[in-house]
Each structure stands twice: as structure tokens, then as C-alpha cells.
Chains A and B, each alone.
Chain A
Amino acid sequence: MSTQTDQRSTTPAHRVRTRTLVVAGLLVSLALAAVVSLFASASPDGLEHVAETLGFAETAADSAVAESPLADYGTAGVGNEWLSTAIAGVVGLLVTGLVAFGLMRLLARPSGRD
């Protein structure tokens, strides 16, 4: 244990490569969106529940994109429930990833010597 404490005091700057960390994080995200999501609770969320309890749920209107092929995290025309959610999830990850990685890279300064 004492060696561990010693290590901590001289924190190594790079324990895991950034690429490794990002790939691991993407795999966790993929597992959440394509597998764990099938077991997600289908109960109304906090706001929906409050709206139902206090009686203003019916004031909600359908989104203009309610007929989107991916609406409510299902894929139009895919009968299998798991596949339907998984495809929607993967598409969502790809789109979010493309926009977010692109935007962040665009805004980033060249390497951290500030």
C-alpha cells in the first residue's frame, strides 16, 4: 500500500492513452445505447409524472418531428424491438459524435502550453 501512496504523490501524467480512454468510453456508450437501453424503465419521467399528477399532461403537444423515422428512439419499419432501439441508438451516437467531436476539435487551441 505504501508504494501506491508513493506513486500517487508523483502522479504520472499519462496512465492511459487518450485514444484508449476515448475508445473505452465509446464502447460503454454503445453498450448503453444499444443494449442497456432495452431494459430502460418505460415509466413516465419526473416531469411527465408531475404533469399527470397535477393534471397538465394534456397541454403537451406532439413535436413537429413526431413522425421522424427515429422518433422516441425507435426505428420506423423495424419490427424487432431490440433492433429498433439499437439502430436508433447507434444513429444517435454517430450524429452526436460527428457534431461534438468536430465542434470541439474546431474550438481547441493547439496543444496545452498556455
Chain B
Amino acid sequence: MHVPDGFLDGPTSLATVGVATVAVAAALRGARRELDDRTAPLAGLVAVFVFAAQMVNFPVGAGTSGHLMGGVLAAVLVGPWTATLALTVVLVVQALAFADGGLTAIGTNVTLIAVVAVWVGYGVFRLVQAVRPQSHRLIPFAAAIGALVSVPAAALVFTGLWAVGGAAPIDLGLLATTMISWHSLIGIGEAVITFLAVSAVLSARPDIVHAARHLTSQPELQVRTAAETSS
């Protein structure tokens, strides 16, 4: 759901630039607590993967398609503040170089995808994870549920923005239900991709997955034999 130029009026677009700026400024501080030199490469990779995955629209029926937003995928793997930054990088590159999402709509797209989808989805993830906080196996499922909710959540907030500054008089109830129903379908794809990606990284390196770090005991000192390190 990259919002193009023209959908929202100037004041509303400007307001979302304000929201996005505050969010990114906070994320620049928050991400410092999430990132260290072991996790930073994963954060870079997450941004690259989300850019690539967003080039692949999947059909959701009736001549409509959707693509990954990546908010929960990123938040679970590298932390929500870092996810806000990673997705902002993707959205800015898309808007500037690929004309994907409007230039004046950049604040709107950052707000919807890098803030709302990330944080609402991550909140749902944390609620589900709280059912069994010590479970490794629950993490991909909880991430999938968060991902599923994150897409219609962003769609709902878009409807709210349209109510404030939409370019045409559209029945808001109808807009909300249509937006939410289509984006719930897209959310299923979001959930599947998020499940697969989180599962893959979790099985390879549970120790650097943000949402699993409390499960990995970090030994003070790691003793490794020469044979282990060279293999």
C-alpha cells in the first residue's frame, strides 16, 4: 500500500511528515539500544530483503495483488526501533528512485508502514509471545499473527487519514470495510512470508534474533576448540 501523491491533501501529508520525523528521531535513539556489532549485519540484511520482497506482488484474487510490508518480520528479527529505521530506508529509496509511493506522501508511507505496521504488529506479537515467553517454537507463529494484523491495521489508519484529508468525498464506513477486507487477505501472505523468514533466521542464529535473545544464555566466555572454529 504505497500511497501515491494526490490522495491526501497538503496539511494532512505535512502532518504525517511530522509524525514520521518524530518517529524516526526516536528510532535513531532506540535502535542504539537494539543494535550491536553482532546484530547490525542482520538489520542491514532485513532492509535489503524487504526491498526485494516488495518487488514481488502476489495475487490475492479478483485482479488484485499485494506484497510484503515487512514490519513485523523486521521488528521480530532486529527489534521494533531498528525495524522503523530499516523500513524507512526502504521507503525513501522506493520513493526517490523508483517512483513507488509519492514524494509528498513519504511521511504518510513511513507513518503507515514503518510506524503503524511495525508497532501495532509487534505489539500483537508480544501479546501472543506472552502466552509462553520461554518458547522458541511459538516465536514464528506469534510473528505470523502480528504480521496478519499489521496489514489491516495500516489500512485502517489510512482510512483515518482519508477522513481528515482525503482528496474525494468517499463513504468512510465503506472505505474502512473495503480497505480492511482486502488488506486482511494480503495479511495472509504477509503472515506466511513472515513465518518462513523468522523460522529460517531463528533456526540458523537464535542468538541474534531480537525476540529470542532472552532465551539464549550468553556465556561469559566461550571456549572453542581449534577444530570447531576451523570446520
Contacts and interface: CB of A to CB of B under 8 A. Distances in A.
Interface residues of A, number: 71
Contacts of A1: none
B63 A43 contact: yes
Interface string A43-86: 11111011101111001111111101011110000000000010
B37 A111 contact: yes
A60 B4 contact: yes
Which of B51, B155, B206 has the most chain A CB atoms inside 10 A of its CB?
Answer: B51
A89 B42 CA distance: 20
B6 A60 contact: yes
A18 B40 CA distance: 10
A40 B68 CA distance: 12
Contacts of B101: 63
Contacts, number: 254
Which of A44, A53, A72, A99 has the most chain B CB atoms inside 10 A of its CB?
Answer: A99
B15 interface: no
Contact of A109 (B5, B32, B100, B215): B32
Contacts of B90: 96, 100
Classify chain B's interface size: 35 or more
Contact of B99 (A53, A68, A105): A68
Nearest to A110: B37
Given A14-B205, A18-B205, A91 B97 contact: yes
Given A92-B98, A103-B89, A56 B7 contact: yes
B178 A53 contact: yes
B11 interface: no
Interface of B: 1-7, 28, 31-32, 35-49, 51-53, 55-60, 62-67, 82, 85-86, 89-90, 93-103, 136, 155, 158, 166-168, 170-171, 174-175, 178-179, 182-183, 185-186, 201, 203-208, 215-219, 222
15 contacts: A21-B204, A22-B42, A33-B55, A36-B56, A37-B56, A42-B57, A44-B65, A46-B183, A62-B5, A64-B5, A70-B98, A96-B47, A96-B90, A104-B44, A108-B40
